Chains A and B, each alone.
Chain A
Amino acid sequence: QSALTQPRSVSGSPGQSVTISCTGTGSDVGGYNYVSWYQQHPGKAPKLMVYDVTKRPSGVPDRFSGSKSGNTASLTISGLQTEDEADYFCCSYAGSSTYVFGTGTKVTVL
């Protein structure tokens, strides 16, 4: 069970869109529609932003959207805002009630 692969960093200007990829295998991302995404500001606990690939918990802005194609899931942040600067981690169900997280992506707002 290896960590899911994410780009180390992505960046964009305020108002732009950025997309973070999360690549796994057929045993995790590709095998289930159970991918979640977490936002983590420095020194803080992670916050759930997306679950079940595309669903947003109550209170999460609709600027955050998730998708999946094959073994790769993606999180898109539209209309980038300064408060979106943070680390983002994907997480996938990996069968037998186990989970695997991604390597993490730092989003920088230019």
Chain B
Amino acid sequence: QITLKESGPTLVKPAQTLTLTCSLSGFSLSTSEVGVGWIRQPPGKALEWLALLYWNDNRNYSPSLKSRLTITRDTSKTQVVLTMNNLDPVDTATYYCAYTEDKSGTDIGFDYWGQGALVTVSS
């Protein structure tokens, strides 16, 4: 059974760096074709894709946030970490991690999602 769970601080001060961890269960990033993405959603607003990390260490970022984001995995390949620097109150959102696969000729979308982690940026 595939599950994902986000963890991290609930309150961060402006200009600080946010570090969020996505813990994977039922799969790992050592499995061929597997990917984990991060998506966020400000309160009452739309989803926004942030970053994606694949099993082969291929990393991709939203062009508008690329300079502020880093996505990595731990050595066990069961956790995916997203860091975002220089936080601003507009970064207040629920941050989700989600499972996907990189298959030729198809895009399965984000098939499994974590419960989300609400992060508030405020002084």
Interface residues of A (CB under 8 A from B): 1, 3, 32, 34, 36, 38, 45-48, 50-52, 57, 89, 91, 93, 96-104
Q: Name the B residues within 8 Å of A103 (CB-CB).
A: 46
Q: Name the B residues within 8 Å of A47 (CB-CB).
A: 113
Contact A91 B109 (CB under 8 A): yes
Contact B107 A93 (CB under 8 A): yes
Q: Give bound CA distance, A89 to B63, whole Å.
A: 20
8 A Cβ contacts from B109-123 to A: 109-111, 113-116
Besides the contacts A47-B113, A51-B107, A97-B58, what 18 more A-B pairs have beta carbons closer than 8 Å?
A34-B107, A45-B115, A46-B47, A48-B110, A51-B109, A51-B111, A52-B108, A57-B108, A57-B111, A91-B47, A97-B60, A98-B61, A99-B49, A100-B49, A101-B48, A101-B49, A102-B46, A103-B46
Q: How far is the CB of A50 from chain B (nearest CB, A)?
A: 8
Q: Give bound CA distance, A103 to B41, whole Å.
A: 11
Q: How far is the CB of A96 from chain B (nearest CB, A)?
A: 7
Q: Give bound CA distance, A50 to B111, whole Å.
A: 10
Contact A98 B107 (CB under 8 A): no
Determine the residue in chain B with the shortest Cβ distance to A97: B60
B62 at the interface (CB under 8 A from A): yes
Q: Name the A residues within 8 Å of B115 (CB-CB).
A: 45
Interface residues of B (CB under 8 A from A): 37, 39, 45-49, 52, 58, 60-64, 96, 106-111, 113-116
Determine the residue in chain A with the shortest Cβ distance to B96: A45
Q: Give bound CA distance, A50 to B37, whole Å.
A: 18
Ordered by A's residue number, 29 sampled pairs between the chains whose C-beta atoms are within 8 Å are: A1-B62, A1-B63, A3-B48, A32-B107, A34-B107, A38-B47, A38-B110, A45-B114, A47-B113, A50-B109, A51-B106, A51-B107, A51-B109, A52-B108, A57-B108, A89-B46, A91-B47, A91-B109, A97-B58, A98-B60, A98-B62, A98-B63, A99-B37, A99-B49, A99-B52, A100-B49, A103-B46, A104-B45, A104-B47
